[in-house]
Amino acid sequence: MPHTFRLYGWMLLAAAAVLLLARAPNYDPLAVDLSAQLRPPSLQHWFGTDQYGRDLFSRVLAAGPLSFAVCGFATLVALFVGGSLGAVAGYRGGWIDTLISAIVDSLTALPALLLALLIMAVLGPSATGVAVAVGLASAPSVARVLRSSVFSVREKEFVSAARLFGTSETTIFLRHVAPNCVTPIAVVAATLAAQALLIESALSFLGLGAPPPAATWGGLLADSRQFIMTAPWLGLFPGITLSACVLAINFIGDGLRERFDPGLQT
Amino acid sequence: MNLASRLAVIAVLLAAVAGCSRAVGTSPPPDEIRIAIPSDIRGTNPGVDRDAITDAVLAHVVEGLVAYDENFHVAPMLADTYEVSSDGTRYTFHLRTGIKFQNGARVTSREVKWSWERLLDPKTRFLCRDWYDGTHGIKISAIDTPDSLTVVFHLANPNYLLLEQMANFQCLGAVLHPDSVNASGHWIKPIGTGPYEIAQWRRGQFVLLKRFDGYRPRPEPRSGYAGAKQALAKYIRWDVIPDAAAARAALYSGQIDIVTGLQPSDLGELASEPSIRILQSPSIEWLALLLNTDDPILKNKLVREAIAHAIDYRALAKGATFGRARANPSVISRASPYHDEVDEQGYTYDPEASRRLLREADYRGEPILLQANKRYPAMFDNAIIVQSMLRKVGLNVRLEVLEWATQLANVPARRFQLMSFGFSGRPYPLFAFQSVLGVMHENPWMQWQNGEALKLAERASVLPEAANRSKLFDDMHRLMLADVPMINLYGATVIDAVSDRISGYDAWSAAKPRLWGVDIRAPSGRPQ
Amino acid sequence: MNSGERQYILDLKNLSISFGDRHVVRNASLRLERGEVFALVGESGSGKTLLGRSLLGLLPPAATSAAERLVLDGDDLSKAPQSRWRSVRGSKVGLIFQEPMVSLNPSLPIGTQLAEAMRLHTKLSLPKIREMACELLAKVRVPDPAAALHRFPHQFSGGLRQRIMLASVLLPRPKLLIADEPTTALDVIVQKQVLDVMVALTRELGTTVLLITHDLGLVAKYADRVAVMRNGEILESGKVDTILTAPKHEYTRNLLASVSRVFEGPHSKSNAPALLQLSNVRVSYSSTGSSFLGSRTGPIEALKGISLEIKKGETLAIVGESGSGKSSLGRAVLGLNRISSGTIRFDDLLLGPETRRGTRALGGQAQMIFQDPYSSLNPRMRALQAVCEGLLQDRSLSSAARTERGMTALQEVGLAGYESRYPHQLSGGQRQRLCIARALIVRPKLLIADEPIAALDATIQSQILDLLSDLKRAHEFTCIFISHDLAAVRRIADRVAVLCRGELVECGSTEALFETPRHNYTKQLLEARPLLLREENGNYRLV
Amino acid sequence: MTYVLRKMAMVLPTLLVVSLTVFILIRLIPGDPVLLMVGDIQNPQAIVDARRSLGLDQPFIVQYFLWLKSVLTLNLGHSVVTGQEVTTLIADRFWITARVVVVAMAVALFFAVPAGLVAAWQRGRLADRSIVFVSILFLSVPSFWVGLLLILVFGIYLHWFPTIGYAGVAYLVLPVACLALAQAGSFVRLMRASAIDVLRMEYVTHAYAKGLSDGAVLLRHVLKNAFAPTLTFAGWVLGALLAGAAVIETVFTLPGLGRLLVDSIYARDYPVVQGIALFVACIYILMNLLVDMLYPLLDPRVRL
């Protein structure tokens, strides 16, 4: 079952990639055409046009790389910040662990949205800002996961064995601990990537997404709200694209989980 | 409990929820009008705790001596008649007889004097005290009450625009009963003379107004903020709905009767609802593009002119408003009686000229940031379209979408290059000019500094004949076009939508909803 | 025919179980007489557990099974639907598992769990059931049975939990009790207590017992009849005495040979200088667990002042039950655990509580083999990589030289040709061989083997012990052999140290200790563990 | 008990870190509450006056200590925008958020727990596949989109429920549904995962070996043991949501805490943002403590 899901995931993602790679003919996603506002889907405009007469298909395509960039960068930020905090806390233990755990706890006590809002507001509107905000807001959960998995690997006997050869702690971490934490990281990364797309869309909805005119899928979806009754296609296509991608990433994540540790599936 | 019985319980609960929902009435009570406002009122202290929405709500509760009518002429309100001395320093108001405050007390000159002296007292922190303290010309030096129904305002210098200023709805010069404040001068609540009084204010949710039964409407027909203000509905509830789409949804589902300040882009959606009536009027609010004349690139007038010629104003106005508005190069609204053919003069759309000017200016594609925000859709739409047009002539314009608070803070800080901006309506041309024209180091809000124009402005307020002022305003418009400190794009459109439950409502260019003279029809066959 | 069947509580004929096209049990036939203790013996993967489960109709969903005949107390259940099985389970057949820690529901009180089967299968009132439960708990020697009913499983020790399990299963008076490795997870002394209670009680109640085990010692001690299983097939069955004295099948003979040890005389070199001296070593763990799920009972003293001397070239066995501190001792010697007081002198090196980085100071002169060959190998390293790891510290070696030494080491432990396998591609015994190669490649002076064979099957255990002896002869290292398995200890050790609750209770030569144990605890240990010994005439004798 | 005390000891530093972070960040944002207040009146003097009267002309550190001092007396100050007491403001708004969130969580758990249990039990079969698919689907759709669709269908086309504002239970139906849908997905997955773990336990086999039926095993033995991780997670989510479900509150125009927070950030209403941050941190800590204290009820092995 999970393998089928994973297959669906890859297929959906592949379909999305094909769509992204194919350039829509002749439309600049930013080109305003005031003679073609709010046109429903047609042969010229596959997904219709928005209130400025921009071709929605081109915009959805153009939004893909940015959406993925934001989501990818956010994931990287979360993995880097949360990962290094978690790894240090889990591997060193002791007071360092206590300190880092306290900081991570404080950060969690600050709701992710508030943190993202504040970071976004401070960094100013940019796709990078969104990514950093989303990444930092998700960092505590990565820190937790990594801390516990590093902790469990650290207690493994092959680590003791390496220590008996006089191997340095850094080498032990790099040679033995880190490679064995790749799986939980991969699973967390998939979850995070899916979450990042959704959080970005929520931030867009609250007016704090990646700034126009370039748009992410979340941004397109959030903007479509104004026309939900007269031009439902404006929300439908970005919404379906976004959800399909999140779905795909979630399936991949689930597949990874089932594949690597059938015991722990949360 | 086994799974089957659990499922049964769930089914019953679901059915119960569905059943309940049928029984819940979502429409307002039969004697209450509900109108959506995008944000809560700031307070109940007129002119002190204020913004446009607070002004609009409190305009139902308090009144001034004079008021603007539908076409922005000054008309009497609490004053029955008034005279201006020929030297322009003495204004005499004769109050209407037999009108009462909402606490039952009669309105006399004593309360008028008290109200105005309170406003002029710096301790009150009346936000528009600068209108009357000489900053902009008018300085009220004394207020006399020769008898209980006569009030005389003395000015330090001649000025013929006191009435226009007093009638201004931006900062209500409200006449209040002294019991509105306590012994130590702290604000309690407004005891005014308007057709409604505040019954309940649940912060963040709604303001409920109740009909003041002792109100005596003026004999003239309803017109703008002037004329008869007949309170027909017993209650008016101003529901705070920050989200425009939610407000529309509420209108369609019958929870709200009136939604104001709609966007042209909503019209298609509104038209598809048979039970909704759409009311439109050209607004005195206007949209503009600000050009920072201190900016290294934009201080070159050639670049500014190039920008001015690169914009297709007709297409912009049409595209941004779905054909609802026409381009207006002037700060004077088409709704204003002062708008004349000179105000129609603007920049021509001439991309070739624009490119030429850019070459002359030696512009080499330096990036120019255009600031906009998403809070006000019109500003955002204009920015998108203007950017697209400017790029066509080779201007490397990038869009910078900021949060409204940030963008607003950038205006007085002059932290911008181009900015898509909007101005709230000024009922009188000079006030419109004065919202952008001034000495920048004295007032950082000012976008345009021109000695000649400042002199013209000064002359306009000491010119007794209204007709002669019009020529001065024309000259000011020409000077503005020549300086290109900002480019006026078009006047906004007031779009209000009303459910068919309501009769007698009309939109007004001032973009102020007026709920007097508005009634609730007998219930039709709508689902309750 | 009927009367013949009556004497059998279970008559199983030609049972086959398969997962897809993988057959795990093939044509197994068994007949259990009423009231007997029947042992089913086999190593891991022999299919004995699945056979046991199929007698309750409790196979995993992916498994398919078919039997020509499965008659349980007169009912043929070979084609019974689940509903019919449900009425059989608990009431006619009971099941006890290996792991007492997870076989009782942690969130329900003991009483509720005991009553569950009774309420299902009888119409007795709750007070009556409780009364019966108390009675039975008393019989399995649970102290204060009435109070115990209200307590939760975690409030009991492992041995008590297994006895409560026993009571819970026997409460509805099943005709057949399937005990699947019921004591494997317990310490020897506790093991004996539980099994004694079980056998006594089932004999009293007349319950037939199917004892599934890998331990021939237990079979010899408790069972009446035995069947030997391998690769899903029953090789032979019969009376225990017969099988032990005259095993027909080759495999049975091997099995017997591997578990019973010929007493090998000690090769003690008592005049050699000491390699390792421990004086008054204490180790304590603070229980500041990172999670609040951990117990928090203050610091635990794992070693309470141990003084010990190990001579160059000898093999010292450290014996004790779980929690006796024997592993802590090994880890403390290697500097893997910080000692809280005392000193350890290794050759010329003095390690005290204040010495930091003790492990690195040893510089690879002491190595360790761990109990669990699964977690002692990095799952992401191939065999050759793993073996060569110890050589990486020696910068003077070229990578070719390293590879060569690695290959030699692998060959030495019989893993030639396996150099590019990952740990999960190796069997348990192969993994342990790999661990031995990895430890010995740096030519350590001291090798600590911490329960190196506990996780392995009997035949493999024997091979690993042989390998260790061979390598020791070839490389002449000193060895500390930590184990709870007295048979293995007797076979390999020169001297034995007995640890009990962190204290050294007895230490002496293997022969002396086994023949004339002085300390009471040592005696208990020796008694609890049934040992099979081969006598000169080739027969096996239980000691 | 020591556990609770140790947790308590962490409260104060956490609150200090949170409040200082928020205090600094909110002031780093460009924009000025006073400009927004004064709005379309270009009167520089009014801005100076307003700033002084709000104490915003003081140095940053002074502002922080003044604020801390008043917090110690449980006074969170007054809103810059409306002048309301921050404590009443938060109390009013929190009540609405709390109702929606708590009910939504209850609804989500009510459906998700049995669904997860069934999925685990039927692992690999059609029921499991469908439940997993639907739950991943719920997880993959932006909740505001779901909200908009709910409004469109149930509010506008069917007129079943009111769609905006808050004036009674009926107003909560759609927000609750939306929020429950958004949360149910992860609960189902978590419940399924932990139920699968529990189903592998020998006590489950033992329960079957006693002759118990599937339903009895699931309800008596699996449910309680598998629910503990879900409870922890639910408590965590509840804490996070009580901090404000800004998106849902925006979609349905509920005057809840999340909406207040977003609006206050936009309006640069410093005292309100600070107050909410502090309040939310307290709620979060409290929720965690609550979950920890509930845990022993489900798992008697755990003692505090």
Cβ contacts of residue D51 below 8 Å, gap of 6+?
D34, D57
- Inter-chain touch A110–D132, beta carbons under 8 Å: no
pLDDT at C290: 39
> Across the interface, which of C89, C106, C121 has its CB nearest the CB of D208?
C89
Chain D contact partners (≥3 CB pairs within 8 A):
A, B, C
Give which of D18, D97, D133, D145 to mutate to test A binding, by max A Cβ within 10 Å.
D145
Which residues of chain A are within 8 Å of residue C360 when distances are taken between CB atoms?
A: 163, 166
Region for B83 from its dihedrals, namely left if φ exceeds 0, alpha if ψ lies in -120 to 50, beta otherwise? beta
Q: Is the pLDDT of residue B455 over 50?
A: yes
D197: confidence class by pLDDT, cuts 50, 70, 90: confident
C-alpha span between D150 and D154 (Å, rounded)? 6
Position A131: which residue type?
A
pLDDT at B22: 35
- Inter-chain touch A226–B388, beta carbons under 8 Å: no
D208: confidence class by pLDDT, cuts 50, 70, 90: confident
What value does the CA radius of gyration of chain C take, rounded to a whole number of Å?
Answer: 26
pLDDT in tens, B484-510: 999 999 999 999 999 999 999 999 999
Complex-level ipTM beyond the 0.85 threshold: no
B174: confidence class by pLDDT, cuts 50, 70, 90: very high
Which residues of chain B are within 8 Å of residue A32 when distances are taken between CB atoms?
A: 319, 384-385, 388-389
Chain D residues with at least one Cβ partner in C under 8 Å = 2-3, 201-203, 205-213, 220-221, 224-225, 292, 298-302, 304
C-alpha span between B525 and D10 (Å, rounded)? 62
Query: The tokens of B348 are what?
Result: 């021509």
Query: The tokens of C242 are what?
Result: 């017969």
pLDDT at D60: 83
Best-predicted range by mean pLDDT among B270-284, B354-368, C315-329, C505-519? B354-368
CA dihedral (A210, A216, A217, A222) positive or negative: positive
pLDDT at C476: 85
A19: confidence class by pLDDT, cuts 50, 70, 90: low
**Helices D86-121 and D170-199, axial angle in degrees (round to 10):** 40
| DSSP class per residue in C476-537 | --EEEEEES-HHHHHHH-SEEEEEETTEEEEEEEHHHHHHS--SHHHHHHHHHS--EEE-TT
Which residues of chain C are within 8 Å of residue D299 when distances are taken between CB atoms?
A: 106-107
* Mean pLDDT of the region D240-260: 81
Nearest to A158 by CA among A146, A183, A170, A175: A175
pLDDT in tens, B331-340: 999 888 899 9
> Across the interface, which of B255, B406, B412 has its CB nearest the CB of D164?
B255
pLDDT at C292: 36
Q: Is the pLDDT of residue B321 over 70?
A: yes
Furthest-apart CA atoms within chain C: distance in Å:
81
Alpha helices in A168-213 (DSSP H): 169-172, 178-180, 182-205
CB C96 within 8 A of CB C103: yes
- Cis check: omega of the bond before A213, within 30 degrees of 0: yes
Per-residue pLDDT of chain C (543 residues; tens, 9 = 90+): 444 456 788 888 899 999 888 888 999 998 898 889 999 998 887 888 889 888 888 888 788 888 888 888 888 888 888 888 888 888 888 888 877 677 888 888 888 888 888 888 888 888 899 998 998 898 888 888 888 898 888 888 888 888 898 888 888 889 899 998 887 777 888 888 888 889 999 988 889 999 998 888 888 888 999 999 988 889 998 898 888 888 888 888 888 877 665 555 555 556 778 888 888 888 887 654 433 333 344 567 888 888 888 988 888 999 888 778 888 888 888 888 888 888 888 887 887 776 655 666 677 788 999 888 788 898 888 999 999 988 888 788 888 999 999 999 999 898 888 888 888 888 888 999 999 999 999 889 999 998 888 878 878 888 888 898 888 888 888 999 998 888 788 888 889 999 988 888 888 888 888 888 888 888 888 887 766 766 666 666 666
CB B93 within 8 A of CB B65: yes
C-alpha span between A238 and A227 (Å, rounded)? 13
What's phi and psi for B151, nearest 5 deg?
Answer: -125, 135
D1: confidence class by pLDDT, cuts 50, 70, 90: low
Cβ contacts of residue C492 below 8 Å, gap of 6+?
C264, C315, C317, C465, C468, C469, C481
Which residues of chain A are within 8 Å of residue D240 when distances are taken between CB atoms?
A: 111-112
- Inter-chain touch C95–D3, beta carbons under 8 Å: no
Which residues of chain C are within 8 Å of residue A93 when distances are taken between CB atoms?
A: 290
Which residues of chain A are within 8 Å of residue C390 when distances are taken between CB atoms?
A: 165
Which residues of chain D are within 8 Å of residue A106 when distances are taken between CB atoms?
A: 13-14, 17-18, 21, 281
Interface membership of A34 toward B (CB under 8 Å): yes
> Across the interface, which of D128, D142, D262 has its CB nearest the CB of A117?
D262
pLDDT in tens, B73-84: 999 999 999 999
pLDDT at B523: 61
Judging by DSSP bridges, how do beta strands C503-509 and C532-534 pair with one another? unpaired
- Inter-chain touch A160–C368, beta carbons under 8 Å: yes
Which residues of chain A are within 8 Å of residue C393 when distances are taken between CB atoms?
A: 165-167
A168: confidence class by pLDDT, cuts 50, 70, 90: confident
pLDDT at B481: 94
pLDDT at A23: 54
C-alpha C518: how far from its chain's center? 26
Query: The tokens of D253 are what?
Result: 């125009």
pLDDT at B528: 38
Looking up tokens 């209850």, which residue turns up? D106
Of B98 and D242, the structure prediction assigns the larger pLDDT to B98
Which residues of chain B are within 8 Å of residue D164 when distances are taken between CB atoms?
A: 239, 241, 246-247, 249-250, 255-256
Distances from the Cα of B171 to the Cαs of B132, B167, B336, D52, D80, in angstroms? 12, 9, 19, 21, 20
In a 10 Å sphere around its CB, with 0-12 CB exposed, 13-18 middle and 19+ buried, how is residue C3 labelled? exposed
**Could you tell me what percent of chain A has a pLDDT over 90?**
5
Q: How many Å lie between the alpha carbon of B367 and the closest alpha carbon of chain D?
A: 22
* CB-based touch B/A (3+ pairs, under 8 A): yes
Q: How many Å lie between the alpha carbon of B446 and the closest alpha carbon of chain D?
A: 8
Looking up tokens 């004798």, which residue turns up? C541
Give which of D144, D159, D166 to mutate to test B binding, by max B Cβ within 10 Å.
D159
Q: How many Å lie between the alpha carbon of D228 and the closest alpha carbon of chain C?
A: 10
Closest Cα in chain A to D277? A110
- Inter-chain touch B435–D42, beta carbons under 8 Å: yes
CA dihedral (C160, C163, C165, C167) positive or negative: negative
Give which of C334, C362, C375, C451 to mutate to test A binding, by max A Cβ within 10 Å.
C375
Q: How many CB atoms lie within 10 A of CB C538?
A: 8
Which residues of chain C are within 8 Å of residue A97 when distances are taken between CB atoms?
A: 290
Position B181: which residue type?
V
- Inter-chain touch D140–A108, beta carbons under 8 Å: no
Of B62 and A133, the structure prediction assigns the larger pLDDT to B62
- Inter-chain touch D92–B247, beta carbons under 8 Å: no
CB A184 within 8 A of CB A51: no
C-alpha span between D203 and D183 (Å, rounded)? 31
- Inter-chain touch D82–B43, beta carbons under 8 Å: yes
C-alpha span between C277 and C342 (Å, rounded)? 11
Which residues of chain D are within 8 Å of residue B253 when distances are taken between CB atoms?
A: 155-156, 159, 162-163
pLDDT at B45: 92
Query: The tokens of B218 are what?
Result: 């003026």
Q: Name the E strands within C7-121.
A: 8-19, 22-33, 37-41, 63-72, 75-76, 93-96
Q: How many CB atoms lie within 10 A of CB B334?
A: 18
Average pLDDT, chain B: 89
C-alpha span between A131 and A137 (Å, rounded)? 10
CB D165 within 8 A of CB D254: yes
Nearest to C160 by CA among C181, C183, C177, C180: C183
> Across the interface, which of D82, D152, D173 has its CB nearest the CB of B203?
D82
- Inter-chain touch D253–B246, beta carbons under 8 Å: yes
- Inter-chain touch A212–B244, beta carbons under 8 Å: no
Which residues of chain D are within 8 Å of residue A218 when distances are taken between CB atoms?
A: 142
- Inter-chain touch A114–D280, beta carbons under 8 Å: yes
* Mean pLDDT of the region B283-292: 94
Judging by DSSP bridges, how do beta strands C478-483 and C315-319 pair with one another? parallel
Query: Under DSSP, is residue C309 helix (H, G, I), strand (E, B) or coil?
Result: strand
Q: How many Å lie between the alpha carbon of D256 and the closest alpha carbon of chain A?
A: 14
> Across the interface, which of C376, C379, C393 has its CB nearest the CB of A165?
C393
How many interface pairs between B and D have CB atoms less than 8 angstroms apart? 159
Interface membership of D197 toward A (CB under 8 Å): yes
C-alpha span between C368 and A161 (Å, rounded)? 7
Chain A contacts in chain B segment 382-411 (CB below 8 A): 384-385, 387-389, 399-403, 406
Which residues of chain C are within 8 Å of residue A164 when distances are taken between CB atoms?
A: 334, 336, 359, 362, 364, 366-368, 439
Q: Is the pLDDT of residue A162 over 70?
A: yes
Which residues of chain D are within 8 Å of residue B412 when distances are taken between CB atoms?
A: 35, 44
C-alpha span between B280 and C25 (Å, rounded)? 85
> Across the interface, which of C88, C94, C105 has its CB nearest the CB of D221?
C105
- Inter-chain touch D40–B423, beta carbons under 8 Å: yes
pLDDT at B73: 93
pLDDT at B178: 95
| DSSP class per residue in A86-102 | HHHHHHH-HHHHHHHHH
CB C281 within 8 A of CB C305: yes
Nearest to C182 by CA among C198, C201, C202: C198
D165: confidence class by pLDDT, cuts 50, 70, 90: low
pLDDT at C291: 39
Identify the helix (H) or strand (E) that includes residue D178: helix D170-199
Of A167 and B12, the structure prediction assigns the larger pLDDT to A167
